Amino acid sequence: MRLLQLALGALGLANTTVSQTITVDAYIASESPIAKAGLLANIGPNGSKSQGAKAGVVIASPSTSNPDYLYTWTRDSSLVFKALIDQFTLGEDTTLRTHIDNFVTAESILQQVSNPSGSVSTGGLGEPKFNIDETAFTGSWGRPQRDGPALRSTALISYANWLLDNGNTTYVSNILWPIIKLDLDYVSSNWNQTTFDLWEEISSSSFFTTAVQHRSLREGSALATRIGQTSVVSGYNTQAADLLCFLQSYWNPSAGYITANTGGGRSGKDANTVLTSIHTWDVAAGCDAATFQPCSDKALSNLKVYVDAFRSIYSINSGISSTAAVATGRYPEDSYQGGNPWYLTTLAVAEQLYDALTTWDQLGSLNVTSASLAFFQQFSSGVTAGTYGSSTSTYTTLTSAVKTFADGFVAEVAKYTPLNGGLAEQYSKSSGSPVSAVDLTWSYASALTAFNARAGTITPSWGAAGLTVPSSCSPDAGATVAVTFNVDATTVFGENIYITGSVDALENWSPDNALILSAANYPTWSSALPTILSRARMANLRRSLLSSHSHCEPAG
């Protein structure tokens, strides 16, 4: 059946949409080479769809209108090349080295291009996208985006470690390290500044950005030590510890999910969080919750909340069991290009589950906690909190069901993949037809990484194992300020206004313990925060509260 479909695609029926019935194994076998070819076609200048791009430059998509994606994004390019570097360093494809070396050269050039975010020394590394001829994009945009330098350094560090393992220290020290250090220094100095999220819509603090920044500094410190650049190690480690501390504040314990952004006025249920788990996976860390590893109770609880948010909002999900896989998108409030499911977000769910399965297999057990209980009860309603070894029937039941669940998300993507195997950005929430940008490079990369995860591929550790969250965060150089919250709200007799948020002083997102505001200056409700916050944390709280039509002011 699949061969017939591909033949029809070759005859010009590539955009014909059918609801395909195909096994996951068969889909992966046919789609893998298509995804790989589609990805490479978007790397200039020899890619069949990326002419005009300089060597090593990744175009986001060949689409030039509605939307125009014929640009190169630091984030997308870094994620794409991390996937290629993993394939190369793990020996899966030894032909990729020229592409990787071209990417290194291209990124070294782009780092030095002055742009609307600044120069290389004044913030320009936070510029999200460039023209494909390696010149600055000067139009209006959501800038800066501070995940790019972290992701680029992670990709290059993976390459550097492989080169060191194979005796090539000169290239690492003379070529790679200067590029990597620029990015790491930027992360170390700017991680606590406002950033646009990975969807380029919300300016606040973002879980994905914080997590990948934390990873980059941890592995950057290790690389620096390895090549004798010890002067930066202490600074990177200090900032990494603060990042890990700050990362905990995104967790919403009362609702059981990770709030993706500190601003934006949305629910916070977002694929941002699932992508974080897969791009910061470290099998050596087991099911560590502090780094939100794929099999951690927090990440699994979050995954269920995220997936369930899409069950009733897309027509193509109608009639699907409440415990079966469905199409998922960026976030439930999404309206971009009609607000549809994305191929890469649906595949990310599968990848997190496959990574969890691999980790449980390595550990020889899985642990059900009160936080992850609802997730596991989807597969066995009678399961209770506890640790289940791999020799137990409960372990077998749960892991088998999770594998089936994960395969279901790949099957959703297979169902709505067009006949030629091309992956766009989105697929219609009502018909399943591909929509938005065609041949999205990130979609192809996400397919390849999900398929590898299903096969049990393990990438090298980045140092997530054994980390301890500091008892208190130090997000800046000790500058603190008292905070007063003022909310303008008209109420009726008997109503009160409460506040809760992501720090201890605001009761850690607990509605039951939320702080009541005073109506002494009605209609302005006020409360002085019963502690001192750093200026950086206050800025995050201000952004969050402004999204809810309230504001906070420094006292004095």
- Three-state DSSP string of 505-520: HHHHHCHHHCEECEEE
- Percentage with pLDDT > 90 across the chain: 81
Burial grade of 468 (CB within 10 A; 0-12, 13-18, 19 or more):
exposed
**pLDDT over 70 (residue 499):** yes
- Percentage with pLDDT > 70 across the chain: 87
Q: Say what the pLDDT of residue 504 is.
A: 55
Decide if 257 contacts 269 (C-beta within 8 A). Answer: yes
> Two tokens at 50?
């990326």
| Whole-angstrom distance, CA of residue 303 vs CA of residue 322 | 14
Average pLDDT value for residue range 360-381: 98
| Whole-angstrom distance, CA of residue 208 vs CA of residue 299 | 13
Confidence category of residue 522, pLDDT binned at 50, 70, 90 = confident
pLDDT digits (tens, 9 = 90+) for 314-333: 999 999 999 999 999 999 99
Q: What are the C-alpha distances in Å from 516 to residues 53, 81, 374, 392, 531?
A: 57, 49, 31, 49, 15
Decide if 112 contacts 97 (C-beta within 8 A). Answer: no
Higher pLDDT pick, 531 / 194: 194
Residue 212 corresponds to which amino acid?
A: V
**pLDDT over 80 (residue 531):** no
Confidence category of residue 3, pLDDT binned at 50, 70, 90 = very low
Boundaries of every domain in the chain: 24-455, 480-544
Confidence category of residue 103, pLDDT binned at 50, 70, 90 = very high
| Whole-angstrom distance, CA of residue 477 vs CA of residue 489 | 35
CA atoms within 13 A on the CB side of 169: 7
| Whole-angstrom distance, CA of residue 130 vs CA of residue 125 | 11
- Those residues whose C-beta lies under 8 Å from the C-beta of residue 49, and which sit 6 or more positions away, are 41, 42, 59, 62, 439
Confidence category of residue 532, pLDDT binned at 50, 70, 90 = very low
Decide if 147 contacts 154 (C-beta within 8 A). Answer: no
User: Which helix (DSSP H) or strand (DSSP E) does residue 426 occupy?
Assistant: strand 426-427
Confidence category of residue 21, pLDDT binned at 50, 70, 90 = low
Q: What are the C-alpha distances in Å from 513 to residues 321, 493, 524, 552?
A: 35, 22, 21, 20
Confidence category of residue 199, pLDDT binned at 50, 70, 90 = very high
| Whole-angstrom distance, CA of residue 329 vs CA of residue 123 | 31
Let me know if domain 480-544 sits in CATH 2.60.40.10.
yes
pLDDT digits (tens, 9 = 90+) for 421-460: 999 999 999 999 999 999 999 999 999 999 999 999 999 9
Active site residues: 197, 200
> Two tokens at 108?
């070294």
| Whole-angstrom distance, CA of residue 201 vs CA of residue 195 | 10
| Whole-angstrom distance, CA of residue 140 vs CA of residue 161 | 38
| Whole-angstrom distance, CA of residue 73 vs CA of residue 130 | 7
| Whole-angstrom distance, CA of residue 157 vs CA of residue 257 | 31
Query: Is there a common fold for 24-455 and 480-544?
Result: no
Task: Quickly name the fold that domain 24-455 has.
Answer: Glycosyltransferase (1.50.10)
Closest-CA residue to 198 (of 331, 108, 356): 331
Query: The dihedral of CA 182, 188, 190, 195: what is its sign?
Result: positive
- Residue 483 DSSP SS3: strand
Residue 73, strand partner residues: 129
Q: Say what the pLDDT of residue 154 is.
A: 98
* Number of Cβ within a 10 Å radius of residue 25: 11
**pLDDT over 70 (residue 481):** no
pTM, full prediction: 0.86
- Mean pLDDT value across the chain: 90
| Whole-angstrom distance, CA of residue 156 vs CA of residue 183 | 10
Q: Specify the range with the lowest mean pLDDT, choosing from 44-48, 342-346, 449-453, 468-472.
A: 468-472
| Whole-angstrom distance, CA of residue 481 vs CA of residue 438 | 49
Q: Look at strands 515-516 and 72-73 and give their pairing.
A: unpaired
**pLDDT over 50 (residue 263):** yes
141 is an annotated ligand-binding site residue: yes
Start-to-end CA distance of the chain, whole Å, equals 72
